[in-house]
Amino acid sequence: MDLGDEVFTNGRFNRRSFIRGSGALGLTVVGAGALAACADDDGAVGDKTGGTLRARVDADAKSFDPISVTILSEGLVGQSVFEPLVAYSDDGMANVLAKSFEVAPDGRSVDVTLKKGIKFHAGYGELTSEDVKFSLERAAGITKTGVDSLYASTWWGALKGVEVIDDHALKLVLRYPSASLLQSVLLQSSWAGIISKKAYEERGPKGFMKEPVGSGPYEFVSWNRETSIKLRRFKQWSGAYDFVDRPVWDRIEIVVIADDNAAELALEAGEITLTPIRGTSAKRFESDSRFQLSRLDGGSAFDFIGMNVSHPKLKDIRVRQALRIAFDIPAMIDAVYQGEAKPAFGPMPPGTIGYWEDAPKYERDVNQARDLLAQAAASNLQLTLTVPSVKGATTLAEIAQANLKDVGVKLDIDVLDPASFFVPGEENRSRQLFFTAGNFTTPTGDPSIILFPWFSCSQRDQWNWTYYCNAGYDKLGHESERELDPDRRAELVIEGQRLMDDAAFAVWVAYPGQVFASPAGVDPGPALGANSMQRVWATRKA
């Protein structure tokens, strides 16, 4: 494929290998939270503009620094406060901060012209090329600013640096033509969002993580820990998302409600007006004329039970193979997802590059599982399954517990709040089994983000909680990132999945969907992507 043909100028383009998906934040481990919206007394649902959009999440934030985002509450702020160079539109890729975006014929550099007149929040002046250089080099791990980028590995070392030409012109210098950089990484409003360099230097790492400054449609106001995060409409917003209608809400308040049942009761009481609901509740809301449902398919999300191959109890592959066929996955899907998910047989969902249509489909076999455990001399085995306290996770864990009892394995369940569950670091070495609960997803579904980094050697003690490490697998990841032909790239991705299957460190469960309920006066469509939110601020009043 000739990268020289890929040019954006005041608009958008599609390319054959472009995968349009959606996600909660455009980062690795988000999506278990929920969205809600309601209008204040000063902005009733029937009014076309004004009022407060209240977005419900199930866990509070820890940091609003875009390179540190891990959960939905942080992502919703990032989507509203920061803007990327390019983003998704209904037609594919579209410019946001970039006015034009031209790839060199050899694919090793990209000339970017910025839109003029883009203002930062809090009086920090106009966005310039220096801010873009600072933001992207920091996100890619090139520039160290006191906070390590959690997503540096998703850049695959492709970005060598950013050269500033003038205030509104710059050049991205690449080490090699990248298959994912232009189609995936730069589209993330989270880790590729542009921040104010001046604000970061004045506030410092700790100050900026609490009070972020971007150029997006909403600016940060306050953070009441464990309760709410408040944003207000930025009056000087440039309208850089010119393919999305301008926001209608005066304020956004992100409210922490941990319990799904409590959120549904709040919806019925009129306290919130848009929230994901449990599959078991769908019929109740669907039959009530006051509400409408929006169903989203699995997009690029995948749920799995992971096994830590470095743990002494799980090092023997026969133990992992036994566990893989001990679980009753169809029963889990029926109980947890209530018809709102598709069975998964690998990490790449249908429609993504490298979807493995012929992946092995393991059925439950209690006798064979017992035989494998006996061969491994794993009698009286006791394990712990760690899950986040989100919709359906505990139900799945209880089914897993009963399944393993049938093969002679005692399973304990450890439930953590999402903010404690979704953390990188050495503390994950002690985890034995874990369930991801809809939180491994990206907006793009690109294998260079959704597959290879999360299971690579370099991501141990980061996001690779399985601690799987295979030099051949990592090599395939690098080859895939450099392969511009989508068919050949798909072959590499499938080969990587074969290696994963051989290692037996994952039990693939489902490609989860979501059901959202709202009153007739709210249109969630513009804010929802394939499996969660894209832009919370784009929620409309019908």
Same fold, 3-278+514-541 and 303-512: no
pLDDT at 10: 33
Domain range summary for the chain, segments of one domain joined by +: 3-278+514-541, 303-512
State the CATH architecture for 303-512. Roll (3.10)
Contacts of 334 (CB under 8 A, 6+ apart): none
Compute mean pLDDT per 10 residues along the chain, 542 residues long, and list them: 34 29 31 44 63 86 91 88 88 89 93 97 98 95 89 86 98 93 70 93 96 97 95 96 92 88 90 81 90 78 94 98 98 90 91 93 98 96 94 93 98 91 86 85 73 88 93 95 93 97 97 84 74 76 79
pLDDT at 124: 98
| pLDDT tens digits for range 392-450 | 899 999 999 999 999 999 999 999 988 788 888 888 999 999 998 866 666 667 888 77
Edge-to-edge strand list for the sheet holding 12-13? 12-13, 92-95, 86-89
**Measured between alpha carbons, how far apart are the two ends of the chain, in Å?**
43
Distances (CA, A) of 309 to 48, 59, 95, 432, 519: 54, 29, 43, 8, 47
pLDDT at 463: 83
Q: Which DSSP string corresponds to 377-445?
A: T-TT-EEEEEEESSTTHHHHHHHHHHHHHTTT-EEEEEEE-HHHHS--SGGGGG--EEE-TT-B--SS-
pLDDT at 37: 45
State the CATH architecture for 3-278+514-541. 3-Layer(aba) Sandwich (3.40)
* Residue 146: Cβ-neighbour burial (10 angstroms; 0-12, 13-18, 19+): exposed
Q: Give the start-end residues of each E strand in 115-265.
A: 159-166, 169-174, 218-224, 228-233, 251-256
pLDDT at 9: 35
